[in-house]
Chains A and B, each alone.
Chain A
């Protein structure tokens, strides 16, 4: 049979551009309908599937009563897997058995249920429209009657969402003093301390190639808002060979002998950026692969972040500990609506423009 002929018999045919209903395919009896052996076989298969379910149930009970998951982690895992597999078969056996029964043994009559037209009849449509019109008439919505009722209804409907929305939005921040976004715990003279134990760091401890995860000293002693402060103030302290560090113009005094400190909060959406590659000096954000070049003012070299990471100006105090010269001079973390608006209680000097330009 050629392909052309096949198409003619298989596809709904067109005659003079009109679509002809191909009708139903011929009824084809199943093997079990005519062959008693096949019928018996299908019966046995179905019974075997139900039997599988019974085995699964018994096995799950056996696992539950014999295995003790409390001793070791490995035992928990074994118990979980065995329980899961046996319960899986207990359920799956019933389902597969029922389907196999229906497919092979139950009556096999094709039934036709015609679809009705999607469009409602014109009479019904006219009646529905009339109902709406009558309702509007009754309520006086289209006339000037019952203005008090209408006014109160509209007000009630309009303000009802506030009962849900206000607590939702109110609980998001509780504190709507946006100016706080511009400041962190860092102040002039705050020592840089190790995360999580809070011990201060000496400049001599930071050998070349080292990375310290830093919190402000005193953070652990805060009684309120410790996590909120930590979320803004975390810093990554890195030392590289001073010959490999290209200091950003205007920030010559912000680093110390190859030691630089950058905010750990990504300027994209605020994930902690901490995947530092010692040899390339690249800092990778695990969330969206923004990559910052620490050797060049942490400028963005890949990914969706739009700004360099804010740099924390550091110095060394009399005892050799690393201290902050001031707070960050720009807000840390992702953008928000009036990020670059200054004033309103900001005591720090004007932020330096962070174009990522470097002196080489």
Chain B
């Protein structure tokens, strides 16, 4: 007891205490960063870096102040980090060429740059932020509930199992099988391009996760044979009438022909 008491006043005690405290804080920091880094840790540096990236890559259309240009590009004030993470993270922005719809392509920036851009745009005005890993974890969602919500709100454009489908005048709803869970969540939040917004009052965060669980469930494959894109009767009719009927006609010709 005496020995312990005397050591409390050891001259290196403050140093040890500070080191212990630092270690504890670092541990907490690592534990918390299981979630995407930009969820809460956007620093002033990130915003400044993001502004530079924005000025170099985005400002030609969206304007240096991100207020947008009439008829060219929308204002980005208040769209939030989620919109940037979706648009830049799926390669849709920066836009390659104008057309009926901005196409997905290889992302032009790395994750760090995307989070810096997102931090800059988020600093312009309040908007939806990037969801955490837990919010988009399909293992925590209920695919059966997700199916109900998906059928009511999403299936008319994206197809009953997320295979995608056509809209008007060259636009289309993409298939959702290769889209990351975070991007699916963000798309619901921000409503990119033709897609309407499904805010948290419409589809709760829990139901958004259920939808992700339902879509994840589709990755297990289809119990039938060829899916033919899962886009419905057009592809199936094409297959049946042209390929299968063609085979039947070819075999009747073979049966009726004379052998050499």
Contact = CB atoms under 8 A, between A and B. Distances in A.
A31 interface: yes
Interface in A240-289: 272, 274-280, 282, 284, 286, 289
B188 to A, nearest CB: 11
Nearest to B226: A81
Contacts of B201: 201-202, 204-207
Interface stretch (B29-37, B87-95, B191-199): B191-199
A202 B255 CA distance: 70
A174 to B, nearest CB: 28
A73 B223 contact: yes
A84 interface: yes
Contact of B197 (A32, A76, A278): A278
A322 to B, nearest CB: 12
Given A210-B196, A277-B194, A30 B167 contact: no
B225 interface: yes
Nearest to B165: A286
Given A99-B255, A205-B199, A272 B148 contact: no
Interface in A103-118: 103-104
User: How many B residues are at the interface, by size bracket?
Assistant: 20 to 34
Contacts of A194: 202
Contacts of B255: 99
Interface in A184-218: 194-196, 201-202, 204-213
A185 to B, nearest CB: 18
A275 B172 CA distance: 10
Contact of B193 (A205, A274, A279): A279
A277 B167 contact: yes
A302 interface: yes
A286 B164 CA distance: 13
A80 B195 contact: no
A208 B222 CA distance: 37
A129 interface: no
Interface in B228-260: 254-255, 258-260
Contacts of B99: none
A82 to B, nearest CB: 11
Interface of A: 30-32, 72-74, 76-77, 80-81, 84, 99, 103-104, 194-196, 201-202, 204-213, 238, 272, 274-280, 282, 284, 286, 289, 291, 302
Given A210-B198, A291-B168, 9 more contacts: A74-B220, A74-B221, A84-B225, A196-B152, A208-B197, A210-B202, A275-B173, A277-B167, A284-B167
Interface of B: 148-149, 152-153, 156-157, 165, 167-168, 171, 173, 191, 193-199, 201-202, 220-225, 254-255, 258-260
17 contacts: A30-B259, A30-B260, A31-B260, A74-B220, A76-B223, A80-B225, A99-B255, A201-B201, A209-B196, A277-B194, A278-B191, A278-B195, A278-B197, A280-B168, A282-B168, A286-B165, A289-B168
